[in-house]
A and B are shown apart, each in its own frame.
Chain A
Amino acid sequence: MTTFNFNLLSREIGTVDRIAPPPRLRIPLSCQTPVVDAGVELLAGDKVGRALKPESTDLHTPLPGKVIDIRPESILIETTSGGTVKPIDASSVGDSSLVDFLADMGICPTPFVKAGTIIINAVPTEPGITVFDALLRDYRKTVKQGLDAAKRIIRPSRIILAAPRGDMVNTFNGCSVTHLPPVYPNGLDAMVIKAITGQEVRLGEMPRDAILLNVLDLYLIGRVMETGLPATETVMTVGNKNLRVPIGMPVRFLLDQFGYTPRHGDRIVLGGLMQGLTAGNIKQGVHPKTMALNVVSQDRYPPVEDRFCMGCGECVRHCPARILPNMISRAAEFKLFDRAEQYYINACIECGICGYVCKTRRPILQYIRFAKQELALLKGACEVEAGGET
């Protein structure tokens, strides 16, 4: 039996610490094109990648350094002891140009539309991730500043903080609190939106008249407003600590801080165990939305197998999207993508619970994502750029 469970309140919350700068950064490119060339000397905060799509963000280097290599999936920078770009006084930016200012500073502009409700998600997205709680406690002022900036753009009539039940959370002025049961997947965006507004919003869709921002989003906006410098970091739960980590931080360096040497067959998971992505090698850099680092040794869980579905129906009983992961994975297995669509594959919120409960250890979520990808291609989407694997 495993010690992992779906309780979102299970762990103590570490303070938010800083981490020593690494000798090298590997900044992952997801939907950005590099705007620097190899050999260029950079100041901290210089733009290195430009967003290719409206929903993606510009990338800036968190540390001063020299560009060593540009690869299709990452920019490699050797850090130096250079200076920082000149900060912009954020208080002088008017309401009308605030969105453009933030987008230029590396904040995703998608949620910045007028809406009646702001939902602040303070429910941990996954078990073991305590970033939201730690930020609300240690960086309350910064989060507040982020919320103020968001309010100036969104102009909501009400603000609701979604918090896990059983957690004492200090709310902000003019902001009511809704408590949700502290069980995975209740912290996922789709579930929080459903609990607060009653709308069932699928992945890739926006709720009507409501905007969901999590505490980390608000913290990053707050940082930009405070410092006048681009957002170049993320906050991650590593072990029982929370760390402010510059994006592009190599996984190896992060693990070194904890005295952990990865072994053959380990899974290094950027993110939580339910939804995180595995690093291809230990040099890979942390990407902007990473909220945790986990190492899973090879023999900790039963291995994933290529087996037929035994039809036990556990995935169906646990699916929060009320779809049939067993039938969808069977359809995807035999490339019957139209049939997968008929089984409402697009309602999947990718929580990963199906794979978690699967007795035959089928990679169900992988089959679902594969089928979605193929369906998107059939509908005429272009190949989606690869993630930050090197």
Chain B
Amino acid sequence: MKPIEPLLTVSAPPHAHCGHTIKQHMRDQLIALLPAAAAAMTVFGFDAVRVMALSCSVAVASEAACWKLRKCDPQVDDMHALIIGLLFAFLLPPSAPWWLVIVGGSASVVAGKMFFGGLGGYPLCPPLVGWAICRISWGAAMDTNATMLNSTLPAPLHELKNIGVPWLQNVDMSSLLLGQQLGGLGAVQILPILAGGLYLLARRTIRPTIPLAFLAGVYLTALIFRFVDPHAHAPALFHLLAGSVVLGAFFLATEGSTSPMGLISSIIYGLLGGAMVIIIRVYGIYPDGVPFAILLVNLFTPLFDRIRPKPFGGSRLGEPYVGGC
């Protein structure tokens, strides 16, 4: 009897792969977020754990439910919903009531991601969509300063808005860097977030262009305002370290399908986003402009993506090549 021939795999090239998969991408993101989560736990205690755990589980559960409704194989195992949930929690005050976390966490996933077909389809950074819905609908509950009255930590951006530059005299920049401020529970853990961001850069999970351009945009715009009127505007370094600028630069503005792909377009995107942060902080009614600034530049992404070099062989459609003989 003839031995059975092996059944070979037939596929299109390439037959090798760089090894970076979606799972690894998400795992890297999660690892990068862990230090900030741990720092939030130590600073805000059980309240932070409560918000993060609830937000993550709601996000995962609502994505699973969406896949179920679409009658598709659930893809929650890629951990993206978990990351959305965690990032959304990072933007909330530790005092956030349970219903706010549930509404926001599910809105991030359902309205921010699944409405657009899932991973890669959404035009806006999903956790920011949930944040914006909550911020506009329940502004009082989302207000970090007003809901954290029993905390001894200052809320620098609120104080800047309410009291003005003189208040900044008793603010120490290094204490801001160490997270001694009120804001989103994870977003204000500046040092751990920065470490996570550098980890992502080292793992090449994200490219340095957008974070650097974003931080530069914040810094330069703040510098210009400061230069124009030093008595009315805070120093540029303060703007970098207060609120969720660092979280936005490394984790929110870099979200795959919502950010441009080219080098030049990424730089413009980052700079504009950073500039928008300061403009909102100076002229807007929201103390921390980062979420809305990123949502706004997300909308510009399709426009920036039109900045492309000429394709190989020039800008002509050409003839399809279907393999020579």
Contacts and interface: CB of A to CB of B under 8 A. Distances in A.
Interface in B250-308: 256-262, 308
A19 interface: no
Interface string A319-360: 011111010000000000000011011111100110111111
A52 B266 CA distance: 50
Given A204-B324, A275-B14, A344 B315 contact: yes
A267 interface: yes
Interface in A253-274: 261-269, 271, 273-274
B9 A347 contact: no
Q: Is the interface of B mostly helix, strand, loop or mixed?
A: loop
A365 B22 contact: no
Nearest to B21: A302
A268 B121 contact: no
Interface centre among A294, A320, A358 (most CB of B within 10 A): A358
A346 B325 contact: no
Contacts of B310: 322
Interface residues of A, number: 89
A308 interface: yes
Interface in A268-289: 268-269, 271, 273-282
A359 B24 CA distance: 9
Interface stretch (B98-106, B112-120, B136-144, B233-241): B112-120
A310 B261 CA distance: 12
Nearest to B209: A317
Contacts of B256: 310-313
A263 B16 contact: no
B207 interface: yes
Given A313-B261, A321-B311, 10 more contacts: A271-B13, A273-B13, A273-B15, A281-B5, A281-B8, A322-B310, A346-B319, A365-B13, A376-B320, A379-B320
Interface of A: 1-2, 4, 30-31, 51-53, 55-57, 190, 200-205, 261-269, 271, 273-282, 294, 296, 298, 301-302, 304, 307-314, 316-317, 320-324, 326, 341-342, 344-349, 352-353, 355-361, 363, 365-366, 369, 372-373, 375-376, 379, 381, 384, 389
Interface of B: 5-22, 24-25, 75, 117-121, 207, 256-262, 308-315, 317-325
